[in-house]
Amino acid sequence: MGSGEMLRQIYQRLYDHFGPQHWWPGETPFEVLVGAILTQNANWQNVEKAIANLRDAGVLDLEKMSELPPDLLAGYIRPSGYYNIKAGRLRNLLAHINQAHGGDLDAFLGQDAAVLREELLSIRGIGPETADSMILYAAQKPVFVVDAYTHRILSRHDLIAEDYGYQEIQELFTDNLAEDVALFNEYHALLVRTGKEYCRKSAPRCDRCPLRGL
DNA sequence: CACCAGGCAAGTA
DNA sequence: TACTTGCATGGT
């Protein structure tokens, strides 16, 4: 069986098992950008608390957050962990949008996906996964997001080698699936859901995994 | 108590 | 190039 057929079969099994996941839980593109940084190695529940703090403070907005003193910003996002590091990363992103695009978020996100990706990766604190999450979920362009769960699920089911890197895994999907924002959105969300419930680092419950037997 | 969560950068050899 | 470590909170 070819890789494309295999990937579509995986998707079908996960979708049949879990149904639609309704990602990304963000109300605006800006909120998605912020969430993408805050969720780095952090539980989403904690990220929601941090975002709620920002919203209550009225600074969940490009201009308002840009004017916010760094220590105050760090205080608001405290529940998401690494708050000093992440406050700096948020400010790096804000500075880039302000300096390179005059604070025009739509212009920033409206660029060609490849150009946007290069710009994002040039910002301190934004790596491949964060950049791709932003492009897919905020800019709504068809880039496949790879995360730790994607790697773990595929390697545990012997669909890829253990030492596959980000780029290789991403190419596996983009070279074998139609470039469809809705599909990439749902697929990534389903892989995360699968990882959480059936493919954790320790104590895996592969007995009930919807992908067993592939 | 230990381990983990929708990573990334900086330091070391 | 290939590891290792720091960052830090809250849930299980």
pLDDT digits 0-9 by tens, A6-24: 999 999 999 999 999 988 8
Shortest CA to C1' contact from A39: nucleotide: B6
A2/B7 CA-to-C1' distance in Å: 31
State residue A203's pLDDT score.
63
pLDDT over threshold 90, residue A134: yes
State residue A26's pLDDT score.
86
How many Å apart are CA A65 and CA A8, to the nearest integer? Answer: 41
Does the CB of A22 sit below 7 A from strand B?
A: no
pLDDT over threshold 70, residue A204: no
Q: What is the mean pLDDT of residues A83-89?
A: 98
Q: What residues contact residue A188 under an 8 Å CB cut-off, 6+ apart?
A: A23, A136, A144, A145, A147, A150
- pTM (2 d.p.): 0.96
Shortest CA to C1' contact from A145: nucleotide: B6
A12/B2 CA-to-C1' distance in Å: 36
pLDDT over threshold 80, residue A206: no
pLDDT over threshold 80, residue A205: no
State residue A2's pLDDT score.
80
Average pLDDT, chain A: 95
Q: What is the pLDDT of residues A87-96, one digit of tens each?
A: 999 999 999 9
∠ Cα A129 A101 A64 (to 5°): 80
Does the CB of A137 sit below 7 A from strand B?
A: yes
State residue A202's pLDDT score.
78
How many Å apart are CA A55 and CA A210, to the nearest integer? Answer: 38
pLDDT over threshold 80, residue A110: yes
When computed from its CA atoms, the radius of gyration of chain A, rounded to whole angstroms, is 18
Other CB atoms within a 10 A radius of the CB of residue A132 amount to 26
Q: What is the pLDDT of residues A10-69, one digit of tens each?
A: 999 999 999 999 888 788 999 999 999 999 999 999 999 999 999 999 999 999 999 999
Q: What is the pLDDT of residues A140-182, one digit of tens each?
A: 999 999 999 999 999 999 999 999 999 999 999 999 999 999 9
- Looking at chain A, the whole-number percentage of residues with pLDDT higher than 70 is 99
